[in-house]
Chain A
Amino acid sequence: MMSFFNSYTPLLELALFNALLAFSQYVVLRAGVFSLGTAAFAALGAYAAAIMVTKLGMPAWLGLIAAVGLGTVAGALVAVPLARLRGVFQALATLALVQIVLSITLNWVDVTEGALGINSIPKTIGLFGMFCAVAVVTYLMSAMGSTSIGRAFDIIREDETVAVSLGISVPKHHMIAFILSGAIAGLAGGLHAYTSYSITPNEYGFNMLVMVLAMVVLGGRVSVWGPIVGAVVLTALPELLRGLQEYRTVVQGALLMLSIIFLPRGVADTLIGTLRRRRITLASTKAKAVTI
């Protein structure tokens, strides 16, 4: 058992990191925001954490606070122009944000070391730390589902007109979603910097954006199981498809297309919906049997 963990530690860490990124994407999609900015927020978090430790000589916990803080601030700043815009424009603008962050991390060489990235970051966080972070975020997300914010998110996603008629402020909740997304992605980036020894700008580019989006689309956007299922499947997939190395991108693209066309709610949400319906029909037939 121990040797199993040892040989798969990097993979498990990657899966947990992906799960955190997926949660950052999940929280915006749940609120009906088409943000694709997770990769940008994660890059900011990772660079904040790495710079705090390697250049300023701060302890790692302070670096993590800086990572979460920078992610949160970036999310809030982006939300100011974007919370009042419609979906497609949010998607375009956040895509541009990813590019802006990428070109800053590539070109501001004095601070970010440019294309080489920041190397030899001491590894201060292990599998257990990552696991704790994912557990806390999962708990917070599932707790959020039963607060007024979570319910408001669900209504906005399903029908904005209904949400407005119920007195829910759409821009305000979109802003909350952006801030949460920024904070979670910042945390993910910071943890990644402390587990992977080095970070480079191109890790946080278009590829990450697509992968994170694919995880949440495949997994599901409502239940907290969605991002976890998506992260596990898409982290394991490249390992399972080793023989098809060259066609990995094709498989990923096809998966994205097929799941949005044939399984638009995602694996986890569809499954949960089916189970719930079955339970209801069972209960109602039982109730009928009793009354007869």
Chain B
Amino acid sequence: MLMQQLLNGIVVGSVYGLFALGFTLIFGVNHIMNMAHGTIFMWGAFAGLYAVTLFDVPFPVAVLIGALGGGLVSVILDWTAFRPLRKQGAPEFSSIVSSIGASLILLSLAQQLTATRVMRFPFDIFPIVAFNFFGLRIQLLQLVIIAIVVLMVVGLLYYLYRTSFGRQIRAVAVSEHTSKLLGINPTAINFQVFFISGALAGIAGVLIGIVFNSVHFMMGEPLLLRAFVVIILGGLGSIPGALIAGLLIGIIQTLTVAYLSAGLADALVFSTLFLVLLVRPTGLFGGASAVARVTRR
């Protein structure tokens, strides 16, 4: 029973990690707390769902379309909400406010589009196959989800640390001004960062939509709130941190729901955030450079 819950926690947690990855990427590169990331996740899920219901596409194509949809919405968001602020050199606070405004618009449009209904992926979108391992029941879907998440994380790490695009992204993260002097085009870098971040959120959206068998306009909010906890626990802008913290939060939450109460889960997860801020504000994987950006002295 405990092992089964642990497995469920790992599956949910790895999707949290995938969601938080895009959030932490934008945070690390552009120093923006993107409050509209939850709505991008939701629009990604919508894109996948409409592709399935209207054009009857198979599972892998649905995931791909979800990624594409999420990426597209994310890039549009960058152009409308963040680029004007970047030009002015506005403080961090402005981008938080602007992204809250954008998320209200995206949320409300989705509500209009779906008439506040809860929608479902068709049951035959993914074959229900289960394996038994030492008394553990593992569904094929769970295995596929973990595989997709691992693939995405490895792909992102390769992209960031082994390609020239990734080097440019990391340069912009350190200083946009200096990288401009070195001949890097920050507009192109921001385009990539927002597209990747949105695509990761879109994939997470389709996966969560299938796992919980519901897609609706408010589905992003609980994930966004958990992503805050995940990135603080994992350490600012840290990619392995986001993944490990995502897994941890997923496990904590599943175990609390299973053994204590569902109502307590939220309070516990969010109290973790305060505990981390009090004891170790840089999170599990924050280095010395993170200390200066988190705290004042």
Cβ < 8 Å to A, chain B residues 238-297: 261, 263-264, 266-267, 270-271, 273-274, 277-278, 281, 293-297
Interface size of A in residues (CB-CB distance below 8 Å) = 45
Complex interface: chain B residues within 8 A of A206 (CB): 221
CB-defined interface of A70-94 with B at 8 Å, one 1/0 digit per residue? 0000000000111011111101110
- Evaluate contact between A256 and B97: CB separation under 8 angstroms: yes
B101-109, B158-166, B203-211: which lies at the interface:
B101-109
- Evaluate contact between A257 and B271: CB separation under 8 angstroms: no
CB-defined interface of A140-168 with B at 8 Å, one 1/0 digit per residue? 00000000000000000000100000000
A103 at the interface (CB under 8 A from B): yes
Overall SS of chain B's interface: helix
A264 at the interface (CB under 8 A from B): yes
Beyond A171-B296, A252-B104, A257-B101, whether A87 also contacts B281 by CB under 8 A is: no
Complex interface: chain B residues within 8 A of A89 (CB): 232, 277, 281, 294
A118-126, A243-251, A281-289: which lies at the interface:
A243-251
A241 at the interface (CB under 8 A from B): no
Complex interface: chain A residues within 8 A of B94 (CB): 260-261, 264
- Evaluate contact between B33 and A92: CB separation under 8 angstroms: yes
CB-defined interface of A161-186 with B at 8 Å, one 1/0 digit per residue? 00000000011000000000000000
Complex interface: chain A residues within 8 A of B81 (CB): 257
Give the shortest distance, in Å, between A217 (CB) and chain B (any CB): 5
- Evaluate contact between A253 and B102: CB separation under 8 angstroms: yes
Task: List residues of chain B with CB under 8 Å of any chain A CB.
Answer: 27, 31, 33, 80-81, 84-85, 88, 90-94, 96-98, 100-105, 107-109, 111-112, 221, 225, 228-229, 232, 261, 263-264, 266-267, 270-271, 273-274, 277-278, 281, 293-297
10 tightest CB-CB pairs across the interface, nearest first? A253-B104, A256-B101, A107-B263, A257-B101, A249-B108, A253-B105, A103-B266, A96-B270, A81-B278, A253-B101
Given pairs A81-B281, A264-B94, 4 additional interface contacts (CB within 8 A): A87-B93, A88-B92, A104-B267, A217-B97
Task: List residues of chain A with CB under 8 Å of any chain B CB.
Answer: 29, 34, 80-82, 84-89, 91-93, 95-97, 99-100, 103-104, 106-107, 160, 170-171, 206, 210, 213-214, 217, 246-247, 249-250, 252-258, 260-261, 264
